[in-house]
Amino acid sequence: MPAYLRTLASVLVILGAAAAAGAQGRDILPPVPTPTDIEPGSITCDECPYPAPSKYLDISVYSQDVRISYMDIAPTGTANGHVVMLMHGNNFGGFYFGDIIDGLTDAGFRVVVPDQIGYGKSSKPIAPYNFNTQARNTQLILEHEGIDKVMAVGHSMGGMLATRFTTQYPDSVERLVIYNPIGLSDNRFNRPMTPVDQIYERILRTDYQSTRRSLSRYVGHDPSAWNEKFELYTRIRSSWTLSADFPRLAMVQAIISQMLYQDPVVYDWPHIHVPTLAFGGAEDLLLGPAEVFQERMQVLADTVPNGNGRTLLFPGLGHVPHLERPDIIVPALVDYLLEGVE
């Protein structure tokens, strides 16, 4: 790790410990009135602030004609001949990767950012969802663009997908970053699967306040990390609940939640054969105590064969650290990917 990152990490250890101690015993965020200026938003994210124009590819999913959306951003710095593919998390589309895209394109990378089917600007078919199908849809984009290899970076749910993509299409991946993933354990034997209709009814009750509570988990380690970007994405997701099309999106989200339960990728880790970085904020609380997340990330790195796995976690940062401290996360990510540039 570069010296400046080691220094920053040391400082963040102190800040993170203090924030965690102060956050215990109270709500994650203080209550606020429900905004009155949020208007119904398109479930195909027409109003979302994407950092670059989107392209669309017509594909078929379970005999349904759909389109998958993706950004394809050329390097702004001297082109290095490599492509990075960013895979988004379950509560987002590609729109939240702006700072990472800027850092990568400045470093000479071409960047491709799909919105998976069911997310962002892509179609929302009511159909089975699984990571194998998502991986195939992603591969179709690369084939359409004539891209042979990518460095795959997956955040949160996207970390699960990037893992599956790497094991399903090993010839398409030259380097992998699994960034604050969910699905670090197979929890199917700890609880039964919730029926999809029950999940659907719960999602239908979503509003601004429940959306804010849900996203606030990402700053449970430090409530002061909640900023205008988290608030913006809360408003975007809340706007979808006001749409006449929200019942369709709610059913899609309910089906996808079962995918996350049924399709663990922990058994893929021994089949990864490229340099792999388990990366992100060390204070991720989605699995419970941060120590559990840190332990499982180390297990992930240790399970990748042939010593190809490494871990780089930043104390003081949570589940979406590029929204907290892009000045720390983006240079570290770029540095790792540049190791693969000849």
Give per-residue pLDDT as tens, 216-245. Answer: 999 999 999 999 999 999 999 999 999 999
Give per-residue pLDDT as tens, 106-156. Answer: 999 999 999 999 999 999 999 999 999 999 999 999 999 999 999 999 999
| Cα distance between residue 108 and residue 26, in whole Å | 45
Give per-residue pLDDT as tens, 78-90. Answer: 999 999 999 999 9
| Cα distance between residue 82 and residue 340, in whole Å | 9
- Domains belonging to the chain, first-starting first, are 3-338 (3.40.50.1820)
pLDDT recorded at residue 178? 98
Q: Where are the beta strands (DSSP E) in 62-125?
A: 64-73, 83-87, 110-115
| ∠ CA 286-91-315, rounded to 5° | 40
| Cα distance between residue 244 and residue 329, in whole Å | 38
pLDDT recorded at residue 67? 98
Pair type for strands 110-115 and 150-155: unpaired
pLDDT recorded at residue 21? 35
**What residues contact 168, with CB distance under 8 A and at least 6 apart?**
132, 135, 136, 139
Pair type for strands 173-179 and 83-87: unpaired
Taking 70 as the pLDDT cut, the residues of the chain under it are 1-26
Comparing CA positions, the residue from 52, 160, 145, 46 lying closest to residue 104 is 52
Give the H/E segment covering residue 50: none
| Cα distance between residue 92 and residue 19, in whole Å | 26
pLDDT recorded at residue 5? 39
pLDDT recorded at residue 342? 78
Query: The tokens of 131 are what?
Result: 């990571």
